[in-house]
A = this chain, B = another copy of it.
């Protein structure tokens, strides 16, 4: 009754518009970075009047959040295909897998630099929606699982914290390593340093 009935045809068109909008935003972000994304450009890209954007998304922040979410999903897939087949039965194997997860993260960041940066540069006025927070938390499994094999004495909460710590440490190395503000670190060096850190953290007991 009070809820407006929407024809499926309309809903489908809206979905198509939304996907075109996300695609246009991703393209523009890849080309010139998140900060030069303009509402007027996007409207032109998808052939809609300026005001029409706000029939598709609530505002530009909501669009950026969708792009972020999509990037996180792709990152998750990359981690999955790169490491899911690796064994974790022995401690050494688990460590190798963790190193692989980190390397995959580095590669992904390198190959999707502007989109990857966006995830962390995004500053929302309103708090993260639950579905977006879940998107992020799901990814930690790729770390927590091997880590459990490496540090079996940690309880669930300590393991979660430790997984976050390890992720954050690797993320920091990559984040600062890929900035061009100071001297650029050679690709191989960066990869080596990440492997060193992960192995150090794992070797040095819990």
Q: Give chain B nearest CB distance to A18 CB in angstroms.
A: 24
- Contact of A200 with B204 at beta-carbon distance under 8 Å, contacts A171-B172, A177-B168 already known: yes
In the complex, the answer to whether B193 meets A204 with C-beta atoms within 8 Å is no
In the complex, the answer to whether A161 meets B185 with C-beta atoms within 8 Å is yes
Map CB proximity to B onto A139-161 as digits: 1 under 8 Å, 0 otherwise: 00000000000000000000001
In the complex, the answer to whether B136 meets A196 with C-beta atoms within 8 Å is no
Task: Report how far A123 CA is from B200 CA in the complex, Å.
Answer: 33
Q: Give chain B nearest CB distance to A166 CB in angstroms.
A: 8
Main secondary structure of the interface of A (DSSP, over half): helix
Q: In the assembly, how many copies of this chain are there? A: 2
Task: Report how far A204 CA is from B164 CA in the complex, Å.
Answer: 20
Residue of B with least CB distance to A158: B189
Chain B residues with Cβ under 8 A from A196's Cβ?
165
In the complex, the answer to whether B172 meets A133 with C-beta atoms within 8 Å is no
Checking B121, B173, B176, B199 against A121 with a beta-carbon cut-off of 8 angstroms, the contacting residue is: B121
In the complex, the answer to whether A123 meets B35 with C-beta atoms within 8 Å is yes
Chain B residues with Cβ under 8 A from A171's Cβ?
172, 176
Task: Report how far A138 CA is from B2 CA in the complex, Å.
Answer: 64
Is A3 in the interface zone, CB < 8 Å from B?
no
Chain B residues with Cβ under 8 A from A172's Cβ?
168-173, 175-176
Q: Give chain B nearest CB distance to A69 CB in angstroms.
A: 13
CB proximity to B under 8 Å, residues A186-200: 189, 193, 196-197, 199-200
Q: Give chain B nearest CB distance to A131 CB in angstroms.
A: 14
In the complex, the answer to whether B204 meets A199 with C-beta atoms within 8 Å is yes
Checking B161, B170, B197 against A201 with a beta-carbon cut-off of 8 angstroms, the contacting residue is: B197
Task: Report how far A167 CA is from B35 CA in the complex, Å.
Answer: 27
- For the complex of A and B, the 6 pairs showing the least CB-CB separation, nearest first, are A172-B172, A200-B204, A169-B169, A168-B176, A165-B193, A168-B172
